[in-house]
Amino acid sequence: MPRSQPPQQPPPVQRLRVHYTKQGTARFASHRDFGRALERALRRAGVPMAYSSGFNPHPRISYAGAAPTGTASLAEYVELGLAARCDPERLRDSLAAALPAGFDVVGVIEAEGRALADRMEASAWTIELPGVDERSLAAAAADLLAADRVEVTRRTKNGDRVFDAREAIVSLRVDGDTVSVVLRHGQPLVRPDDLVSALVACAPGLSDDLDAPRSTRLAQGPLGDDGTVVDPFA
């Protein structure tokens, strides 16, 4: 006997966008870890979530450009679909109190215009490379910027993937042992570790001096005409 279709859930009556940070030990949390923590926090805070239709309804949560595991971020975003209207400021306070340490809610606003994920065109990062020879790093950065294409390899569960990391670079600056870079989002998404691999590809000796890089996303959002990343909440 065919399985009867479940009732359709009503659409959200309000969409809220949440800006949060990921710092301290929370940088080691995966996207899946944060998703579970967020759903628990929403339940604790009593947020009236809207749910999807189907046999396995889930809360209407849309993620946009989550930072890779092991990186810190000052610019993480998520959109919530609600079944009842909530005051954004009150929700910010209650959600901040319910999330684990290291995840701090910066702001909550009502969603307007384009989907959140469509607004995430680029990210600004700082990458600290302790132990690196600073002159070699500066030379590698110059060679990377001068190149038309620099291929890097990323290991995935389906095997090695080779792609061009140079195309994503909007701007890059070196100050001592720190790289400041704006990366355009694309397919595949070029991550800070890919940028480090590209620098090593331009100067293989760099890898001899590198300790564990420390990456922090400073901004994420639309890409301005001047090559800077625009606040998606602005």
Structure tokens given for 65? 């450009």
Rounded CA separation 130/137 (Å): 11
Q: Is the pLDDT of residue 2 over 60?
A: no
Q: Is the pLDDT of residue 1 over 60?
A: no
Q: Which residues contact 155 (CB under 8 A, 6 or more apart)?
A: 161
Q: Is the pLDDT of residue 64 over 90?
A: no
Separation of CA 44 from chain center: 25
Question: At what angle are helices 134-146 and 192-202 packed, to 10 degrees?
Answer: 90
Looking at every residue in the chain, the average pLDDT score rounds to 92
Rounded CA separation 4/43 (Å): 29
Structure tokens given for 88? 């954004």
Q: What is the pLDDT of residues 72-129, one digit of tens each?
A: 999 999 999 999 999 999 999 999 999 999 999 999 999 987 788 888 999 999 999 9
Task: Give strand pairing partners of 19.
Answer: 77, 107
Residue 111 near residue 53, CB atoms below 8 Å: no
Rounded CA separation 218/233 (Å): 14
Q: Which residue has the tokens 């946009």?
A: 64
Q: Is the pLDDT of residue 163 over 90?
A: yes
Task: Write the single-letter amino acid at 131.
Answer: G
Which of these CATH numbers, 3.40.50.9100, 3.40.30.10, 3.90.600.10, 3.30.70.100, describes 120-221? 3.30.70.100
Q: What is the pLDDT of residues 165-185, one digit of tens each?
A: 999 999 999 999 999 999 999
First to last CA, the chain: 53
The residue ranges of every structural domain in the chain are 14-118, 120-221
Rounded CA separation 220/231 (Å): 7
Q: Which residues contact 13 (CB under 8 A, 6 or more apart)?
A: 50, 82, 83, 84, 85
- What is the architecture, at CATH level 2, of domain 14-118? 2-Layer Sandwich (3.30)
Same fold, 14-118 and 120-221: yes
Structure tokens given for 131? 């132990």
Burial per residue of 173-203, b for 16 or more beta-carbon CB atoms within 10 angstroms, e otherwise: ebeebbbebbbbbeeeebbbbbbbbbbbbbb
How many CB atoms sit inside 10 A of residue 156's CB?
Answer: 9
Structure tokens given for 173? 């600056």
- Label residue 213 left, alpha or beta by phi (over 0 means left) and psi (-120 to 50 means alpha): beta
